[in-house]
Amino acid sequence: MAKILVTGGAGYIGSHTCVELLNANHSVVVVDNLSNSSEEALFRVQQLTGKSLDFVQGDIRDSTLLDQVFAQYSIDAVIHFAGLKAVGESQQIPLAYFDNNIAGSISLVKAMERAGVFKLVFSSSATVYDEANTSPLNEDMPTGMPSNNYGYTKLIVEQMLEKLAIADTRWSIALLRYFNPVGAHQSGQIGEDPQGIPNNLMPYVTQVAVGRRQKLSIFGDDYDTIDGTGVRDYIHVVDLANAHLCALNNRLNAVGCRAWNIGTGNGSSVLQVKDTFEQVNGVAIAFEFAPRRLGDVATSFADNQRALDELGWVPRYTLEDMLKDSWNWQKQNPQGYSN
């Protein structure tokens, strides 16, 4: 079993991945600066699994700290989640995004190189695809210039890692292009806990359901989709977490850099999500239609065949499961980790 460094492991996707890693008997070291998360998530990960992990509070841009971590622990591979992810904020404070996401990733891979660790799984995003592509999106389609600075940082880091793996064949890198992660661990003990007003659909819906927000604004009702609202590929966070274990496994005996889409391959509209949430959970979601959100595309869903074929990964959870689990987390933790 391997020793895995998980950057950003206290966050939403990171904490779920820690659970799956520990359940698979890997040992886990988390480096997180807690800028968008709580250490409580890591306590709960350990409670859920009955296993312990090592936590180092710190920033991936701190190379001294990273050197200490690599010196102290005999790390086999790194899963790199740490970064900022709010699309709107990235337009207001681009330098913070360039520094955290791009300089942070450079700092990490330099420390990995110094330590002789060359296996890396990177959190990328479907946002790197050129908007002119038609869904289902596959990995051979061209990437484009993302409409926001957050997406731009993902594209730059992807390209940087690709060039690194060409220049130095010791590297073995997986780029996982996530579609729309939602849901929570079935226990309801860990889940998504955004700070402030949620940017994303699912936490907004669950916060309306729990009474923290009055009503959902549905951004656009005139897209060329099944019902006029935007279509996305929602993926259960536990399925997504497991994709990281499959990617690690794939990279054990491989070199080079390769991208995989991580989505279910199914598109659901905003109205379908809202209606299904109401049906499976028996809770009404007040809503209104609002103008389209700048930068949104009508439809985005994955062709996930490459991940199915090459990673041996199979998503198990349905949209109903995702919506039940999101609600189970939110109703048990109305204020997230700050209960």
The residue type at 263: G
- Residues between 119 and 138 that touch ligand NAD (CB under 6 A): 123, 125
Residues of this chain that bind ligand UFG (CB under 6 A): 85, 87, 125-127, 151, 180, 199-201, 204, 216-219, 230, 232, 270, 293, 296, 300
Based on the shown chain and the rule CB under 6 A, indicate whether residue 90 belongs to the binding site for ligand NAD: no
Instruction: Please say whether the beta carbons of 32 and 8 come within 8 A.
Output: yes
Select the binding partner of residue 204 from ligand NAD, ligand UFG, none (C-beta < 5 to 8 A, by kind).
Answer: ligand UFG
CB closer to ligand UFG, 178 vs 313? 178
Select the binding partner of residue 137 from ligand NAD, ligand UFG, none (C-beta < 5 to 8 A, by kind).
Answer: none
Based on the shown chain and the rule CB under 6 A, indicate whether residue 81 belongs to the binding site for ligand NAD: yes
Among 29, 60, 78, 319, binds ligand NAD (CB under 6 A): 60
Select the binding partner of residue 329 from ligand UFG, ligand NAD, none (C-beta < 5 to 8 A, by kind).
Answer: none
Centroid of chain to Cα 51:
23
| Biggest CA pair distance of the chain | 56
Select the binding partner of residue 12 from ligand NAD, ligand UFG, none (C-beta < 5 to 8 A, by kind).
Answer: ligand NAD
What are residue 71's phi and psi, to 5 degrees? -75, -35
Catalytic positions, please?
A: 150
Residue showing tokens 């904490």 = 15
What are residue 101's phi and psi, to 5 degrees? -85, -40
Based on the shown chain and the rule CB under 6 A, indicate whether residue 333 belongs to the binding site for ligand NAD: no
Residue nearest to ligand UFG (CB): 230
Closest CA to 123 of 3, 6, 256: 6
Based on the shown chain and the rule CB under 6 A, indicate whether residue 61 belongs to the binding site for ligand NAD: yes
Based on the shown chain and the rule CB under 6 A, indicate whether residue 33 belongs to the binding site for ligand NAD: yes
327: which 2 tokens? Answer: 């609600």
CB closer to ligand UFG, 172 vs 330? 330
Instruction: Please say whether the beta carbons of 298 and 231 come within 8 A.
Output: yes
- Residues between 154 and 193 that touch ligand NAD (CB under 6 A): 178, 181
Based on the shown chain and the rule CB under 6 A, indicate whether residue 32 belongs to the binding site for ligand NAD: yes
Query: With helix as H, strand as E and coil as C, how does 256-296 read?
Result: EEEEEEECCCCCEEHHHHHHHHHHHHCCCCCEEEECCCCCC
Nearest approach in angstroms of CB 45 to ligand UFG is: 23
Residue nearest to ligand NAD (CB): 11
Based on the shown chain and the rule CB under 6 A, indicate whether residue 59 belongs to the binding site for ligand NAD: yes
DSSP for 122-190, written as a single string: EEEEGGGB-TTS-SSB-TTSPB---SSHHHHHHHHHHHHHHHHHHH-TT-EEEEEEE-EEE---TTSSS
Binding site for ligand NAD (CB under 6 A): 7-8, 10-14, 31-37, 59-61, 81-85, 100, 104, 123, 125, 178, 181
